[in-house]
């Protein structure tokens, strides 16, 4: 018998259905992609099992290892992963996280895919990187039809087939992306890698990339200079004749988080490549890919918010202090209600973007709106992520700071989505550029948020103020973060008015849109529907078995 039993220590959160216990996600999918409900519900059930939760832990504990050389000293440039990583990524491939909209013709395929990705990332975020890059490579690849016809069927396969072998011998392939160099990441036009045409339709690359995640992928989209300017290329790891391409992995990065995923530095020593898109048009070609990876930054952060929120709810529901459950204490209720509000606002934005990607196929106006809204959402949701994780961690007190609680993993993961695929400033400058180049995208943006005009006076006022700010051209660059933050907030407010219960929209518009909003979570004013908000969070928590 234990002398000091673990009294008042909440049990691990296991054995719940991540899909069914998330009413915002489940309702939206039922409405917009009902064909996917059964599959997603099964997936949510699977992921909530102790075995799969453990796979996430193991994949992080046992980080990838670079095997640069064979025993005989020959370069092999391979990466070794723990079996848990293979199981997790295999599960993602089986669910089509890397391909669903490219193979599924039913309406709502983007929404079904983001839902699956959002569920998987709650268990482990690291595998999301190669799944996202594989998904996002397809629109860029399609700019070079003969390459697309070879590669798209391989990368949209639902079979995970690990290992460096000729693509034609594999049941499925994964794609990565290598743009960032030592002297410039955001500034890709400063790339120094050079490409030389070999006259047979292929090119030889000489240079390096400072960041190249998931280097075990079968091929990469990369950028290199030609006389016409920066050009996009496909670089396979293994050449069609079975030889290893001259892509050398220098080392793996020792990162804050995202530790199950390998991120590397690579060098091209005469690597053979195939051009994607026109010479000198590399940036617009790869931007197609980046627009899709930015969507997944929003998906990943919304997912990590959900994972942190359910841990906080679960803990506070079970743990007592000063004679009452934490969840019954008014100030903790305020914190949990505020976190619930933030999560729902992020998730509604994610779902709207995915709906926009679905709609973009037939509607150019929707495509233009979604391109701007994706950048705006990527900036704001990802910025909120780290702050959110810190507050959710604090709900668990000291236990939240301890590895076993899962919270440190979520906390370390959060800042990444804000940095890659365009760090905060770069995204805001992109938004300015997009509006300057195609002013009608801003009109489409305002048309969307104006659809709820009259629904909440604070939202109406915030939209009017935002319009006035955009009419002032002076010092737009220095004001870019203010503009983009406010765009995200009015879009979230408008979405919550349309899609969520009125008490959610009321609390959001009352606390996020005015000029005097407080900055910390847990500062919803008295008179806010704390209880109703908590019950929305509670509803979810109660559904956890
Ligand atoms: C874990 C991890 C994995 C990654 N994987 C990949 C990968 O697979 N492939 C790949 O290509 N890249 C990858 N990256 C690189 C990532 O995309 C870049 O780090 C990121 O785009 C920023 O580029 P940089 O590091 O060169 O920073 P810089 O471009 O030097 O930017 C530094 C800071 O300055 C700001 N800044 C830049 N320009 C301006 C400006 N004009 N005005 C104001 N502020 C500005 C930026 O917002 C940023 O905050 C990865 C990064 C990480 C951390």
488 Cα to the center of ligand 1, angstroms: 22
Ligand 1 within 6 A of 258 CB? Answer: yes
- Kindly give the number of the ligand 1 atom that is closest to the alpha carbon of 255: 1
**Structural domain contains residue 2:** no
Does the pLDDT at position 540 exceed 80?
Answer: no
Mean residue pLDDT across the chain = 96
Furthest C-alpha separation in the chain: 79
pLDDT tens figures, 369-387: 999 999 999 999 999 999 9
**SS3 at position 521:** coil
Residue 545 pLDDT class (50, 70, 90 cuts): very low
422 Cα to the center of ligand 1, angstroms: 6
Three-state SS across 269-336? EEEEEEEECCCCCHHHHHHHHHHHHHHHHHHHHHHHHHHHHHHHHHHHHHCEECCEEHHHCHHHHHHH
**417 and 322 co-located in one domain:** yes
Residue nearest to ligand 1 atom 29, measured at CA = 186
Ligand 1 within 6 A of 186 CB? Answer: yes
Residue nearest to ligand 1 atom 52, measured at CA = 420
Give the residue from 245, 280, 315 where a domain finishes. 280
**255 and 306 co-located in one domain:** no
Residue nearest to ligand 1 atom 33, measured at CA = 423
Ligand 1 within 6 A of 144 CB? Answer: no
Q: What percent of the chain has pLDDT over 90?
A: 94
Ligand 1 within 6 A of 180 CB? Answer: yes
- What sections of 33-99 are H helices per DSSP? 37-47, 50-61, 83-95
**Structural domain contains residue 1:** no
On whether the CB atoms of residues 518 and 355 are closer than 8 A, the answer is no
220 vs 217: CA distance, rounded Å: 7
Ligand 1 within 6 A of 419 CB? Answer: yes
**228 and 335 co-located in one domain:** no
Q: Give the number of domains in the chain.
A: 2
The Cα-based distances of 376 to 294, 346, 463 in angstroms read 10, 12, 15
Ligand 1 within 6 A of 140 CB? Answer: no
**162 and 302 co-located in one domain:** no
**299 and 263 co-located in one domain:** no
**432 and 532 co-located in one domain:** yes
**Structural domain contains residue 4:** no
- Kindly give the number of the ligand 1 atom that is closest to the alpha carbon of 427: 47
pLDDT tens figures, 49-100: 999 999 999 999 999 999 999 999 999 999 999 999 999 999 999 999 999 9
Q: Which of 186, 187, 251, 290 to mutate to test the pocket of ligand 1 (most atoms within 8 A of CB)?
A: 186
pLDDT tens figures, 16-41: 999 999 989 999 999 999 999 999 99
Ligand 1 within 6 A of 137 CB? Answer: no
Ligand 1 within 6 A of 397 CB? Answer: no
For residue 160, what are its two tokens? 């995970």
CATH number of the domain enclosing 76: 2.40.110.20
- Kindly give the number of the ligand 1 atom that is closest to the alpha carbon of 129: 8
The Cα-based distances of 498 to 373, 441, 489, 494, 533 in angstroms read 17, 21, 14, 6, 17
* Model pTM above 0.95: yes
pLDDT tens figures, 285-337: 999 999 999 999 999 999 999 999 999 999 999 999 999 999 999 999 999 99
189 Cα to the center of ligand 1, angstroms: 13
Write down the pLDDT at residue 394: 98
Phi-psi category of 334—alpha, beta or left, where left has phi over 0 and alpha has psi -120 to 50?
Answer: alpha
179 Cα to the center of ligand 1, angstroms: 10
**207 and 259 co-located in one domain:** yes
Helix (H) or strand (E) holding 399: none
**Structural domain contains residue 16:** no
290 Cα to the center of ligand 1, angstroms: 13
**295 and 229 co-located in one domain:** no
Does the pLDDT at position 3 exceed 90?
Answer: no
Write down the pLDDT at residue 207: 98
Residue nearest to ligand 1 atom 7, measured at CA = 212
Residue nearest to ligand 1 atom 17, measured at CA = 420
For residue 541, what are its two tokens? 């928590």
**178 and 215 co-located in one domain:** yes
Ligand 1 within 6 A of 178 CB? Answer: yes
186 Cα to the center of ligand 1, angstroms: 5
Does the pLDDT at position 182 exceed 90?
Answer: yes
CATH number of the domain enclosing 488: 1.20.140.10
Ligand 1 within 6 A of 290 CB? Answer: no
**196 and 321 co-located in one domain:** no
pLDDT tens figures, 98-145: 999 999 999 999 999 999 999 999 999 999 999 999 999 999 999 999
Residue nearest to ligand 1 atom 25, measured at CA = 185
- What's the distance, Cα to Cα, between the start and end of the chain in Å? 28
Give the residue from 280, 311, 330 where a domain finishes. 280
**212 and 198 co-located in one domain:** yes
Residue 536 pLDDT class (50, 70, 90 cuts): confident
Ligand 1 within 6 A of 423 CB? Answer: yes
Average pLDDT over residues 181-205: 96
pLDDT tens figures, 395-410: 999 999 999 999 999 9
**Structural domain contains residue 447:** yes
Ligand 1 within 6 A of 424 CB? Answer: yes
121 Cα to the center of ligand 1, angstroms: 22
Residue 499 pLDDT class (50, 70, 90 cuts): very high
Ligand 1 within 6 A of 210 CB? Answer: no
**Structural domain contains residue 256:** yes
Write down the pLDDT at residue 535: 80
Write down the pLDDT at residue 473: 82
Write down the pLDDT at residue 10: 94
The Cα-based distances of 422 to 72, 97, 234, 538 in angstroms read 41, 22, 21, 35
181 Cα to the center of ligand 1, angstroms: 9
Residue nearest to ligand 1 atom 27, measured at CA = 185
**318 and 273 co-located in one domain:** no
Residue nearest to ligand 1 atom 39, measured at CA = 426
Domain that holds residue 417: 284-543
Ligand 1 within 6 A of 257 CB? Answer: no
343 Cα to the center of ligand 1, angstroms: 26
365 vs 367: CA distance, rounded Å: 5
Does the pLDDT at position 7 exceed 90?
Answer: yes
Give the residue from 263, 280, 297 where a domain finishes. 280
Three-state SS across 449-461? HHCCCCCCHHHHH
pLDDT tens figures, 414-436: 999 999 999 999 999 999 999 99
Residue 1 pLDDT class (50, 70, 90 cuts): low
Ligand 1 within 6 A of 502 CB? Answer: no
**Structural domain contains residue 3:** no
371's CB contacts (< 8 A; 6+ apart) are: 291, 434, 441
Average pLDDT over residues 143-160: 97
pLDDT tens figures, 340-353: 999 999 999 999 99
207 Cα to the center of ligand 1, angstroms: 18
**Structural domain contains residue 10:** no
């Amino acid at each position: 018998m234990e002398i000091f039993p673990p009294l008042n220590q909440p049990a691990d959160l296991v054995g719940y259905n991540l899909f069914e216990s998330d009413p915002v996600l489940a309702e939206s999918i039922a409405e917009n992609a009902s064909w996917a409900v059964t599959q997603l519900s099964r997936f949510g059930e699977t992921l909530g099992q102790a075995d799969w939760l453990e796979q996430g832990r193991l994949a992080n504990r046992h980080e990838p290892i670079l095997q640069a050389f064979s025993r005989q000293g020959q370069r092999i440039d391979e990466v070794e992963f723990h079996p848990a990583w293979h199981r997790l990524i295999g599960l993602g491939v089986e669910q089509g996280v890397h391909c669903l909209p490219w193979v599924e013709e039913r309406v709502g395929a983007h929404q079904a895919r983001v839902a699956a990705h959002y569920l998987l990332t709650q268990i482990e975020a690291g595998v999301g990187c190669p799944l996202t890059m594989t998904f996002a490579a397809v629109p860029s690849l399609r700019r070079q039809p003969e390459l697309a016809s070879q590669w798209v069927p391989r990368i949209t396969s639902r079979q995970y087939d690990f290992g460096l072998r000729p693509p034609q011998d594999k049941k499925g392939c994964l794609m990565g992306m290598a743009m960032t160099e030592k002297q410039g990441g955001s500034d890709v036009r400063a790339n120094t890698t050079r490409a030389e045409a070999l006259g047979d339709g292929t090119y030889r690359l000489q240079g390096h990339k400072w960041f190249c995640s998931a280097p075990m992928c079968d091929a990469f989209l990369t950028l290199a200079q030609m006389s016409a300017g920066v050009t996009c290329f496909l670089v396979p790891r293994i050449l069609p004749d079975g030889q290893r391409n001259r892509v050398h992995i220098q080392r793996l990065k020792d990162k804050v988080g995202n530790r199950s995923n390998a991120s590397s530095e690579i060098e091209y020593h005469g690597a053979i490549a195939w051009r994607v898109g026109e010479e000198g048009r590399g940036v617009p070609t790869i931007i197609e890919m980046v627009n899709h990876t930015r969507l997944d930054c929003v998906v990943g952060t919304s997912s990590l918010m959900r994972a942190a929120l359910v841990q906080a709810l679960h803990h506070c529901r079970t743990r007592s202090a000063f004679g009452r459950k934490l969840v019954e204490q008014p100030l903790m209720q305020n914190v949990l209600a505020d976190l619930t509000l933030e999560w729902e606002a992020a998730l509604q934005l994610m779902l709207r973007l995915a709906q926009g990607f679905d709609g973009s196929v037939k509607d150019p106006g929707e495509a233009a709106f979604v391109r701007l809204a994706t950048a705006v959402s990527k900036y704001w949701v990802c910025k909120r992520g780290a702050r959110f994780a810190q507050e959710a961690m604090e709900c668990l007190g000291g236990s939240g700071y301890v590895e076993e609680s899962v919270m440190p993993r979520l906390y370390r993961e959060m800042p990444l989505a804000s940095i890659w695929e365009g760090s905060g400033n770069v995204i805001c400058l992109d938004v300015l550029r997009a509006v300057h180049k195609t002013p009608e995208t801003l009109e489409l943006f305002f048309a969307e948020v104006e659809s709820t005009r009259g629904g909440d006076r604070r939202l109406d006022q915030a939209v009017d103020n935002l319009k006035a700010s955009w009419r002032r051209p002076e010092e737009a660059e220095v004001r870019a973060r203010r503009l983009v933050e406010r765009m995200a907030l009015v879009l979230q407010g408008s979405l919550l008015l349309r899609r969520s219960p009125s008490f959610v929209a009321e609390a959001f518009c009352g606390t996020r849109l005015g000029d005097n909003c407080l900055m910390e979570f847990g500062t919803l004013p008295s008179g806010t529907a704390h209880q109703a908000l908590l019950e929305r969070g509670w509803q979810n928590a109660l559904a956890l078995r």
